[in-house]
Amino acid sequence: MISFSVFDYIIIGLYFVIVLYVGLRTKSSDKSTVDYLVAGRVLTLPAFVATLVSTFYGGVLGVGEFTYRFGISSWFLNAFPYYFFIVIFAFFLSRKIRKTELFTIPDKLEQTYGKKVGLFGAILIFFLVTPAPYLLMLGIITQVIFGIPLFWAMIICLLFSIVYLFKGGLLADVRVNIVEFIIMFAGFGLILPFCFFELGGLDYLKTNLPTESLSLTGGNSLQYMLVWFFIGAWALVDPSFHQRCYAAKNGSIAKNGVLISLIFWFIFDFLTTTAGLYARADLPNIDNPAMSYPLLADKILPPIAKGLFFTGMIATIMSTLHSYIFISATTLGNDIIPRIKHTGNRLNEYSKIGIIITSVVSILIVIWIPSVVNIWYTVGSIIIPALLISIISSYTKRFTISPAFILGAMIASFSISLICMLYGQFNLIDGYASYPFDIEPMYPGLFVGIIIYSIGFIIQNINRKPELAGT
């Protein structure tokens, strides 16, 4: 049982008051699609960096769990792969995305490959950016702090996360992100000095950590680590990256903002990984590794400091929760419903309805898969293979192929990865999924998608040669 002082509760309460104040006072025209969905395309560099950094780093309890279980290898599983693909995104995609003047990824897929590809991509993206893992994490933290049942804790968190989105749209989301950016760094920057002076430095960690915690692999197989490396390609298809680029003032802000954000992610990864190692060294017998940060804070931090740290955790998670709720909602309102039925000028209205639908779906997913890491792994393994090729190729004309082939590649990738995932879940050995031929579900889906895309690419180029010869 984690204890809190009155001062801790006051600090945590002040955070929620400030968030509501900043979010609700945001004036954005909910009648203009440009204003509501992409903040009028006027994001400056500081705002761009603050919103992107905080939005794309919400899985803090999952990071704690990974570090507790796998030690420094968690950096190679959950940090380095993302750095690699984020650099690719910054140099090869960010400016192109801003130049399109579109609103969402499905808009680009439809522009390049047609309505069917745009619709299927929108459905996949809706589940890719599910706020479910972040809702679960924030619900757990709220349950720990206030001692209320998890279900009601999640409902309360949802209400605090969506109320200002109805009127303020992306601009409200961004302004709240700026507050959360400051608080998340302050919170995690606070705990490390206490760990150092209370427990010790590098020598303490070397002495008290198990050998595998200091191993680069953490006891994981190469195939498992490669899956997480390719899950890092999430950065290339994550709508939060694309949405922020669409909303940037210009292409230079989009590119430089992504690169500067990478520096802040590196710093925050250092803070979270080091805190996780201290938790593993000082609390070696935690039943639930996802609770490593809260339990470490309870043991190490005095009143007020504890409240600030928990507020930092809440801000880290909540920043992603409300951002992904908004992205999922706009995916429904702007990308799915209009491609099924004519909506006229009611895109914003349907996006607001999408906020409610997204919230309900998130709760259902948490009930179905009550594990943060498992939600990430399942969603990433099934959906990323289906989106990766189509999104990347859509921004480079020479790599585009016929809509029929790209749609076939997307459907085949998704279906095969899903079938392999379900097969493994229905064939457990000692509690672990046993996949066909012991191959992780992402690989077959990605392989088949690449094969179909390659066939389409070859046929496309064969057809182009006679056209070029005749000109």
What is the DSSP secondary-structure string of 396-429? -GGG---HHHHHHHHHHHHHHHHHHHHHHHTSEE
- Amino acid 187 reads G
To which H or E segment does residue 432 belong?
Answer: strand 432-433
Tell the residue number behind the tokens 């929108």, with chain if given: 122
Tell the residue number behind the tokens 């209320």, with chain if given: 148
CATH topology of domain 6-368: Sodium/glucose cotransporter (1.20.1730)
Bridge partners (DSSP) listed for residue 248: 43
> What does the pLDDT read at residue 300?
95
- Amino acid 83 reads Y
Q: How far is CA 358 from CA 237, 350, 352, in A?
A: 19, 12, 10
Q: Residue ranges of the alpha helices (H) in 248-371?
A: 251-282, 292-300, 305-330, 337-340, 347-368
- Amino acid 300 reads I
CB 304, CB 8: distance < 8 Å = yes
> What does the pLDDT read at residue 233?
87
**In the chain, where the domains are located:** 6-368, 370-471
**Mode of pairing for the β-strands spanning 432-433 and 428-429:** antiparallel
User: Distance between CA atoms of 207 and 27, rounded to whole angstroms?
Assistant: 54
DSSP 166-197: HHHHHHHHHHHHHHHHHHHHHHHHHHHHHHHH
Q: What are phi and psi of 221, to 5 degrees?
A: -75, 160
Cβ neighbours of residue 317 closer than 8 Å, sequence gap 6 or more: 58, 59, 60, 61, 134, 137, 138, 141
Q: How far is CA 258 from CA 71, 87, 388, 442, in A?
A: 27, 8, 19, 27
> What does the pLDDT read at residue 29?
56
Q: Which of 105, 138, 62, 125 is nearest to 377 (CA)?
A: 62
User: Distance between CA atoms of 378 and 418, rounded to whole angstroms?
Assistant: 9
> What does the pLDDT read at residue 406?
97
- In the structure encoding, which two tokens stand for residue 79, read together? 């940090």
CB 101, CB 363: distance < 8 Å = no
> What does the pLDDT read at residue 344?
67
User: Distance between CA atoms of 253 and 95, rounded to whole angstroms?
Assistant: 9
299-304 contacts at long range (C-beta below 8 A, 24 or more positions apart): 300/191, 300/194, 300/195, 300/198, 300/199, 301/190, 301/191, 301/194, 303/4, 303/5, 303/7, 303/8, 304/5, 304/7, 304/8, 304/11
> What does the pLDDT read at residue 427?
87
Q: Answer positive or negative: Cα dihedral of 303, 9, 359, 52.
A: negative
Cβ neighbours of residue 58 closer than 8 Å, sequence gap 6 or more: 134, 137, 316, 317, 318, 319, 320, 321, 323, 324
DSSP 83-105: HHHHHHHHHHTHHHHHHHT-SSH
- In the structure encoding, which two tokens stand for residue 361, read together? 């779906």
> What does the pLDDT read at residue 30?
56
Q: Residue ranges of the alpha helices (H) in 248-289?
A: 251-282
Q: Which of 59, 39, 17 is nearest to 319 (CA)?
A: 59
CB 406, CB 456: distance < 8 Å = yes
Mean pLDDT, 10 residues at a time, the chain of 471 residues: 93 95 80 84 96 92 89 88 96 95 94 95 92 91 92 92 88 94 95 95 93 81 81 90 96 98 96 95 90 95 96 96 93 88 75 90 85 79 92 91 96 95 87 84 93 94 64 49
3 state DSSP class of 157:
helix
> What does the pLDDT read at residue 44?
97
